Structure 1
């Protein structure tokens, strides 16, 4: 994704992609919580907290889509199904897999959100800008927590690379649809 986006329908695309991405994140955490209840119960409270943030983010972008009469992204269900599969696979790797997934997804998302903020500022869409800005601190919190909890794991580099590529690909696809 470029550092800034073309100002043609950018706010609409950004809101659609973010909405779909939040649905994906919700499903990552749902799958991870399901597995963590069995194998990593000490993570469940953190994952439930992160899930609540993602649900709030989905609502933020959903309200904007609704108020602007914008249909959700065509990649919405792909994000949800893909997110659940990603969450399930990484959760089966244990604590390190779960936290590496969080670190990798949120690192890609942080870069994505910063590019969006630059584009929305240039487009002078304060409502969309505020929506993106409102979630950034929680995204950074998730990213930092994931990195701190997984950076020393042997899984970190390979799992992070795969998850980062998958996340970037889904974002790219959302912009193409």
Structure 2
């Protein structure tokens, strides 16, 4: 999917990317917060790991503040959708939590790499922010992928739904 954005007056591509990624990260925080709540009961061994996944929203917010830009219009949509997804998958347990993270991070990493290519040499601050976050997002993906059992229904069920939803939210955010 090509990186397409409808830019507001005075907004750069880097501004839009930071806004959309901040909103998406807010959705991820809501997913992990809801999953964490249920993981205390369904997958207690994952609580500390989920806590570690809550860090990037502040990095995107700092970059938005430096640019003096408001949040993306999709911010609250990401929160509601994220919380609902996190509650459903958290209630389902360990494999569903891990499968959700793998699906989200796979899509997000693809988009961040695409964004990085578009911003490299154009917006150093945005590109540097993405580079720093991509490393940690890849680690989240890999840690969760290692938790998924070879045989199980959750990855097969969750992956297409979560991947499509994540793509849709990114597409919408780039156009709002």
TM-score (norm 1): 0.91
The structure 1 segments of at least 4 consecutive aligned residues displaced by more than 6 Å after TM superposition are none
Structure 2 partner of 1:24: 27
Alignment of 1:1-177 (within 5 A): 1-2=1-2, 4-5=3-4, 9-51=12-54, 55=55, 57-122=56-121, 124-150=122-148, 152=150, 153-177=152-176
Helix, strand or coil at the partner of 1:74: coil
Give the whole-Å Cα distance in 1 for the aligned partners of 2:171 and 2:23: 12
TM-align CA RMSD: 1.6
- Structure 2 unaligned residues grouped into runs of 5+: none
**What is the CA deviation profile of residues 67-108 of structure 1, one whole-angstrom value per residue up to 9, with x for unaligned ones?**
212111000011111111111111111111000000000000
Name whichever of 57-66 and 129-138 sits farther off. 57-66
**What is the CA deviation profile of residues 34-61 of structure 1, one whole-angstrom value per residue up to 9, with x for unaligned ones?**
001112111111111222xxx3x21111
Name whichever of 98-107 and 137-146 sits farther off. 137-146
Give the whole-Å Cα distance in 1 for the aligned partners of 2:118 and 2:4: 5
Compare the two structures and name the one with the higher helix fraction. 1
* C-alpha deviation, 1:154, in angstroms: 2.0
Q: How many residues align?
A: 171
Q: 1:98 to 1:69 in 2, by over 3 A?
A: same
**What is the CA deviation profile of residues 3-58 of structure 1, one whole-angstrom value per residue up to 9, with x for unaligned ones?**
x557962111100001101111111110001001112111111111222xxx3x21
